[in-house]
Amino acid sequence: MAEIEYRNLGRSGLVVSTIGLGCNNFGRAKTATETQAGTDAVVHAAIDAGVTLFDTADIYGSERGLSESLMGHALKGRRGEIVLATKFGMDMAGTNGPDWGARGSRRYIRLAVEASLRRLRTDWIDLYQLHQPDPMTPIDETLAALDELIAEGKVRYIGHSNLAGWQIADAEYRATLGAHPKFISAQNEYSLLRRGVEAEVLPAVNAYGLGFLPFFPLYNGLFTGKFNRQGGPADSRIMALRPHVLDDVDWDVMERYEAFCAERDISMLAATFGWLLAQPGLTSVIAGVTKPEQIVQNADVASSWTPSPDEVAEISTLFA
């Protein structure tokens, strides 16, 4: 069994496992983690395997807040063993009262954080992330409101998600001007089939020393290696909920990737984690799972194969 690795998240003292756990499957209809028992099984298996970074959001779950509520129960007695990350700023459809679209405002952040703390049954959030840019609120106000939460001990570190490169630079500049704590992490979509962040986001992330957390790192599970031209397991997210994902795939390229893995006697999962973790600034792969054995397997393979620079380039070129 490969040893799990830990890295600092950006230029901060927050240390997290390089294999994290994406928690948007908790409370998702038609999955084994739809229920409390299913969520408990995954959460405990993850902690026992040495996974520390758990990434959720107030909006996750078949009803808003459900992922956080299930996690609040699952973490009973084990809260101190993990780094808990959640997010605010997507449309909660009135769950936090009227917001008029200004979900980065001081007024809204106060409501959102109290609701998340209540659902998560905790006194503090380790990493509180702005889920998407708020075009109505100046980022200075968002930073000042988050600064207050850090001072009060409700939040330890702050991060953002879905910001463009220029917005990352602007937030850094505004935090410096206002002497506010800085965002330490960026979370954007990144996988072998979605490489858009390489143009502007990753250069900004690296210039400012942020930690990068890729979402959909396995492209909805495609890069687990359990799919082929004919399809895959009937109970998988792709087959049950998103069959269109398979239509995007160039199967000739996927088969060349399979051959690359076979030549090295490694699984596609190991190769994909290896490629992701070799990207500068990328701190932790927050893949989601629906079954405890999946997180155990991910923790096991995450650091099992370290590609050479030539191998990283070969995979990148394959999916260019």
Ligand X SMILES: NC(=O)c1ccc[n+]([C@@H]2O[C@H](COP(=O)([O-])OP(=O)(O)OC[C@H]3O[C@@H](n4cnc5c(N)ncnc54)[C@H](OP(=O)(O)O)[C@@H]3O)[C@@H](O)[C@H]2O)c1
Catalytic residues: 60
Buried b (16+ CB within 10 A) or exposed e, 145-170: bbbebeeeebbbbbbbbbbebebbbb
Q: Spell out, one character per residue from 132 to 171, where the chain touches ligand X: x when CB under 6 A holds, - when not.
A: -----------------------------xx---------
The stretch among 22-30, 74-82, 120-128, 193-201 that binds ligand X (CB under 6 A) is 22-30
Q: Is 174 in the site for ligand X (CB under 6 A)?
A: no
Q: How far is the CB of 68 from ligand X (least distance, A)?
A: 12
Residue type for 26, please?
Answer: F
Q: Which is nearer to ligand X, 38 or 307 (CB)?
A: 38
Q: Which is nearer to ligand X, 12 or 224 (CB)?
A: 224
Among 124, 226, 278, 316, binds ligand X (CB under 6 A): 226
CA gap 112, 87 in Å, rounded: 9
Q: Is 303 in the site for ligand X (CB under 6 A)?
A: no
**Structure tokens belonging to residue 17:** 């496992």
Residue ranges of alpha helices (H) inside the chain are 36-48, 66-74, 106-120, 139-152, 165-178, 201-207, 237-240, 251-264, 268-277, 292-301, 309-318
Q: How many CA atoms lie within 13 A of 213 on its CB side?
A: 32
Among 52, 142, 283, 290, binds ligand X (CB under 6 A): 290
Q: Is 292 in the site for ligand X (CB under 6 A)?
A: no
Q: Is 219 in the site for ligand X (CB under 6 A)?
A: yes
Count of Cβ atoms closer than 10 Å to residue 29 Cβ: 11
Q: Is 18 in the site for ligand X (CB under 6 A)?
A: no
C-alpha dist (Å) from residue 313 to 49, 159, 307:
31, 29, 9
- Do 120 and 160 meet the contact criterion of CB atoms below 8 Å apart? no
Q: Which is nearer to ligand X, 9 or 23 (CB)?
A: 23
- Do 209 and 172 meet the contact criterion of CB atoms below 8 Å apart? no
Q: Is 84 in the site for ligand X (CB under 6 A)?
A: no
Q: How far is the CB of 269 from ligand X (least distance, A)?
A: 6
Q: Spell out, one character per residue from 56 to 75, where the chain touches ligand X: x when CB under 6 A holds, - when not.
A: --------------------
- Interface residues with ligand X (CB under 6 A) are 22-25, 55, 161-162, 187, 215-221, 224, 226, 236-237, 269, 286-290, 294, 297-298
